[in-house]
Structure 1
């Protein structure tokens, strides 16, 4: 999977959810029902920071606040010159395997197999949130899943000044 414009159009319900719905003997149950039945509000509230992240602006760039370190970004400017696209792309790079490092990804729930879909959903959210938050910038969100499996599903973004058609 690789996409520069994330699009999560062919959703497949996660295996754990399908089993849960079957256990309840009600195929009409939705993911929203699962959140309500399983006390999901705590998790959804925490997930808001993942799907709608806080950002900071520094040296003409936009960075995820949670991952931002002024010293590290300054080092990237030293190493990459004024290549803001690469600096933002590297600094904002989120590997989902790392986000869920304490979660068993290879158990019966097959959660590791669900991460590519989560990456696409996350990418779409970031695209919308960042575009609304920074209307004067072109936002590029990249979702990828390396073929060799070295990083797993990843999401990153970079910005550039918006190009006006009105000169």
Structure 2
């Protein structure tokens, strides 16, 4: 999987959800029901930071607040010159394997197999949120899954001045 403009149009329900619905003997249950039954509000509130991240502007770039350290970004500017797009890509790079490193991804729920769908959903959210938040910039969100398996599904973004005065 590799995508510049993320699109999560081929949704498939996660294996754990299908099993849960079968266990309840009710195929009409949907993901909203799961969140309500399983006390998911705490998780959804925490996930809001992942799907709707805070950002900071610095040296002409936009960076995820959780990943931004001024000294680190300054170091990247020293190493890469004024290639702000590359610096944004590096600093804003989120590896989902790392985000969920305390979750067994190879268990019976096959959660590791669900991460590419999560990456696409995350990318779509970032695209919309960042485009709305920074209408004077072109936002490029990249969702990828390294073929060698070294990083797993990743999401990152970079910005450029808008091509037209109207965005």
TM-score between the two structures when normalised by the length of structure 2 = 0.98
Partner SS state of residue 131, structure 1: helix
Equivalences for residues 113-128 of structure 1 within 5 A: 113-128=113-128
Q: Are 2:163 and 1:163 equivalent residues in the alignment?
A: yes
Q: Post-superposition shift, 1:165?
A: 6.3
What do the CA deviations read for 1:112-153 (whole angstroms, capped 9, x no partner)?
Answer: 000000000000000000000000000000000000000000
Please state how far the C-alpha of 1:60 moved relative to its aligned partner.
0.6
Matched, 1:143 2:143: yes
- Distance, in Å, in 1 between the alignment partners of 2:23 and 2:158 is 43
Please list the CA deviations of residues 73-115 of structure 1 after superposition, one character each: whole Å capped at 9, or x if unmatched: 0000001111111000000000000000100000000000000
Equivalent residue pairs, number: 166
Give the unaligned 5+ runs of structure 2.
Answer: none
Instruction: Say which SS state the counterpart of residue 109 (structure 1) adopts.
Output: coil
Helix, strand or coil for the counterpart of 1:66? Answer: coil
Query: C-alpha deviations, 1:12-46, integer Å up to 9, x for none?
Result: 00000000000000001000000000000000000
Flag structure 1 segments of 5+ consecutive residues without an equivalent. Answer: none
Q: TM-score if structure 1 supplies the norm length?
A: 0.98
Write the mapping of 1:95-134 to structure 2, written as runs, cut at 5 A: 95-134=95-134
Q: What is the RMSD of the two structures over their aligned residues, measured on CA atoms?
A: 0.8
Q: Distance in 2 between matches of 1:21 and 1:163?
A: 47
